[in-house]
Amino acid sequence: MTAAAPEPKANMGKPVPRYDAAAKVTGRATYGSDMPLDNPAYAFLVTSAIAKGRINSFDLDDAKRVRGVIDIVTHENAPNLNESKLFSNGGYAGTTIQPLKSTDIAHDGQIIAVVIAESYEAAREAANRVKVSYTAATPSASFDSPGTTEAAAKGQNAQFKEDPKVGDFAKAFDEAEVKVDASYETPTQHHNPMELFSTSCAWMGDTLVIYEPSQYVHGLKNGVAEQLGIDADKVRVVNPYVGGGFGSRGSTTPRTAVIAGIARRLNRPIKLVPTRDQGFTIATYRAETRHEVKLGASRDGKLVALRHEGAEVSSRADPYCVGGTKTTTRLYACPNVDSLVSIVRADRNTPGFMRSPPEVPYLFALESAMDELAVKLNMDPIELRRINDTTNEPIGGKPYTSRSLMACFDEAAKAFGWAQRSAAPKSMSDGDWLIGYGCAATCYPTQMAPSAARVRLQRDGRTRVEIAGHEIGTGAYTILAQTAAERLGVPLEKVAVFIGDSDLPPGPVAGGSNSTASTCSAVMMVCDQVRQRLFKALMPNESLTDKAKETVGMGQTPSTQAAKGDRPIDLEKAFDALGVGVVEEYGEWKPEGAPQDSFKAMHSGHPRLVGGAAMKDKIAYAFGAEFVEVRINRFTHEIRAPRLVGAFAAGRIMNPRTARSQLMGGLIWGMSSALLEATEIDARTARYVNDNFADYLIPVNADVPGVEVILLSEQDDHINPAGAKGLGELANVGTNAAICNAIYHATGQRIRKLPVRLENIEV
């Protein structure tokens, strides 16, 4: 067994290799722009060179002279499209800024023209020959720019419902024996999935097929249909493989309906493969944030007061925010809590979800402040977390469904060698290298969403699972196949999985780390329907549910099946009794507490996520603890992170192999966020300046010498039938603070602004 396939512990599935492994290593896996098209025309985007103002005129003569140019689409001749509503306002879109509608420019890199040509090369050349005359206005780039406006998130963003508070913060903080009052900042970041933001659109009569990397095929289908003004059933989105998402492909972007509209007019398939730099402005991003955290504690380390104020940048058009105070106000026991989130509007495109949207910036602030408090208390930072660990969140007193935070700290500390740390800053070194050890808590809400599934079982055991889920690298194919195989008692290699197609039963958005819990719960339920039909055929006089449990293992978690002496169903007999060759069942599953309109919403491409802190009588999170060793060269100030160790507990682990890989990638994402990644904005022009892989720093193999992932066994019977907590966004949360805490330990310098680069070190 390789390190990639950890031995399963209790309540973990088998670490089988990925279902799609062979396709991915042979080049057979087909991503959006790999899909064959019949005689496509090629599109190339022209994007705005100013962030605010208007277009005076285009000079297209030179561009039109390029051999092979078919059409150049601007606001003057663009297809007429309906407005799109923001996803958080009941719509599908990641932005309501719709390009090609008028001469107005709302942000840098806005689509202002689309060149259509016979070849990619001709389209690209012509796009570069499009001349634009602008009237530029002075844009507001970000925080501190003149002309921005700021207002509380509550009341303007429908998804931000409350600023959590409890007790009397002001009094408690005033009277606290030990205090921390500190400000933190996080930068703009871009997802930069490896697959570009491509779109291919092909019409067959009045039916549209879209090949596009999407984390929500049902959302994209319905959103594009709405913009085109056609029946949603006339649109099909196909993407069996997605080359990374990280949140960037959960809501619709303006490009898709534009390309679909042009393809309809041209009566020819169109293929758009935007450039890497265009991806920085035609999709969403993680906005920069600012935080003020106030912690008050007694001398023995008990928190008595906690206040978290966050500010986030959004566009003029849309009140997007992530509002991570819902998590940071509930993580530790504290009787007096206050919080406020506000939104700063600037001349930018609308930001959106990026891997752990609320937790990355907000836990960076809180977990840095906790470390500062530990220093002031002269206390081990792990012990400070232990003293303030809680079984109930402090705002509403609701119990955590399960919480293995301290078990994670203890396991990770042991593996890391935390006991060897000498507590004083600057007390550890190796030649020219200052050594620092740091740690932080990590967590992510456990979320679920309604999902449908169809399962077909043949008498020879061959099984087909259909669900419009998404393979964005998480292992969706693999765990759905495992779930069906376990539930039906058929060999894994007999299960075929079909996902990534909006013609399949609707699955949820691959966002908020809800997919595993939701889709596996749906597949389990539908497999049980199949089993019930077979069972009924075998034993027509038995009562179904209870008997079924005893006899064929229905309703039992797979890990307990063997213990209860479960035996597989005799398929041949059951099919003979039924008198058919195939049993097929369709079902719709929704989580406990899902709203009344859940299934209607599911079919129209609106996710209805429930879970985390928003449940009525409980709160559900996955937890982990992350430890980092940093080494800082005392002369050059070069910063390295040779060791990242994380321990995580997330309910049932469906497949330790895919889980470990995701958590490992998450730890590296976290390191990257702390030390490398930032989109730089020119404050004068509100334009991104490092919009490519050479200047937007992403880790390469040499940046990542040692990563260790520890999976803890955890069982949680209060979340969903699969017993799973999403973990795709769990590991990249705590790392930011852990690294800054380690840098403090190495240097004695507290850095409160990300990313930390060598020029920020002052030893």
The pattern of x and - marking residues 241 through 280 that bind another protein according to CB under 8 A reads xxxxxx--------------------------x-xx----
- Whichever of 474 and 513 has its CB closer to another protein, that residue is 474
Measured at the CA of 510, the angle between CA 509 and CA 512, to 5 degrees, comes to 95
Closer residue to another protein in complex, CB, 69/620: 69
Stretch that binds another protein, among 200-208, 310-318, 341-349, 694-702 (CB under 8 A): 694-702
| H or E element that contains 589 | strand 582-589
User: How much of the chain is helix, strand and coil, in % rounded to 5?
Assistant: 30, 25, 45
Tell whether residue 200 is a contact of another protein (CB under 8 A). Answer: no
Rg (CA), the chain: 27
Choosing from 210, 337, 620, 668, the residue that interacts with another protein (CB under 8 A) is 668
Alpha-helical runs (H) found in 321-448: 325-328, 359-377, 381-387, 405-416
CB of 267 vs another protein, minimal distance in Å: 21
**Which of 109, 310, 475, 726 contacts another protein by CB under 8 A?**
475
684 lines the binding site for another protein (CB under 8 A): no
Instruction: Centre a 10 Å sphere on the Cβ of residue 118 and count the other Cβ atoms it contains.
Output: 15
**Smallest separation, CB 255 to another protein (Å):** 16
Stretch that binds another protein, among 140-148, 177-185, 485-493, 689-697 (CB under 8 A): 689-697
3-state secondary structure 539-561: CCCCCHHHHHHHHHCCCCCHHHH
Rank residues 539 and 698 by Cβ distance to another protein and give the closer one: 698
Give yes or no: 288 in active site.
no
Per-residue binding letters, 432-471, with another protein (x by CB under 8 A)? ---------------------------------------x
Could you tell me how many residues of this chain bind another protein (CB under 8 A)? 88
Per rule CB under 8 A, is residue 33 in the interface with another protein? yes
- In the set 14, 85, 103, 134, which binds another protein (CB under 8 A)? 134
Q: Does 662 bind another protein (CB under 8 A)?
A: yes
When the beta carbons of 664 and 756 are compared against another protein, the nearer one is 664
By beta-carbon proximity to another protein, the closer residue of 261 and 665 is 665
Dihedral-angle region of residue 220 (phi above 0 means left; psi in -120 to 50 means alpha; beta otherwise): alpha
What's phi and psi for 528, nearest 5 deg? -65, -35
- What's CA 559's distance to the chain center, in Å? 29
Minimum CB separation from another protein for residue 476, in Å? 11
Q: Note whether 734 and 414 are within 8 A (CB).
A: no
User: Should residue 49 be labelled a site residue for another protein when binding is judged by CB under 8 A?
Assistant: yes
Q: Under the criterion CB under 8 A, does residue 103 sit at the interface with another protein?
A: no
Site for another protein in 65-94 (CB under 8 A): 66-68
Q: Judged by CB, which is closer to another protein: 1, or 563?
A: 1
DSSP three-state, residue 630: strand
Least distance CB 500 / another protein (angstroms):
12
Which of residues 327 and 685 has its CB atom nearest to another protein in the complex?
685
Which of helix, strand or coil describes residue 513? coil
Largest CA distance in the chain: 82
> Binding of another protein at residue 137 (CB under 8 A)?
yes
- Tokens representing 191 are 């997802």
Gap between the Cα atoms of 336 and 329, Å rounded: 10
Read out DSSP for 123-187?
A: HHHHHHH-EEEEEE-PPP-STT-TT-EEEESTTT-TT------BS-HHHHHHH-SEEEEEEEEE-
Q: Which one from 312, 367, 471, 729 is the annotated catalytic residue?
A: 729
**Smallest separation, CB 571 to another protein (Å):** 29
- Member of 120, 456, 588, 592 binding another protein (CB under 8 A): 120
Does position 147 interact with another protein (CB under 8 A)? The reply is no
Our CB check for another protein shows the closer of 348 and 590 to be 348
Q: Is 56 in the site for another protein (CB under 8 A)?
A: yes
Least distance (Å) from another protein to the CB of residue 714? Answer: 22
For residue 455 the two structure tokens come to 């399962």
Beta 621-633 vs 639-649: how paired, if at all? antiparallel
689 touches another protein by CB under 8 A: no
Q: Where are the beta strands (DSSP E) in 218-336?
A: 235-238, 270-272, 289-297, 303-315
Q: Which amino acid, residue 612?
A: G
H or E stretch at 663: helix 656-675
CB of 465 to another protein, least distance (A): 20
22 binds another protein (CB under 8 A): yes
Please identify, using beta-carbon distances, which residue of 575 and 696 lies nearer to another protein: 696
Catalytic residues: 729
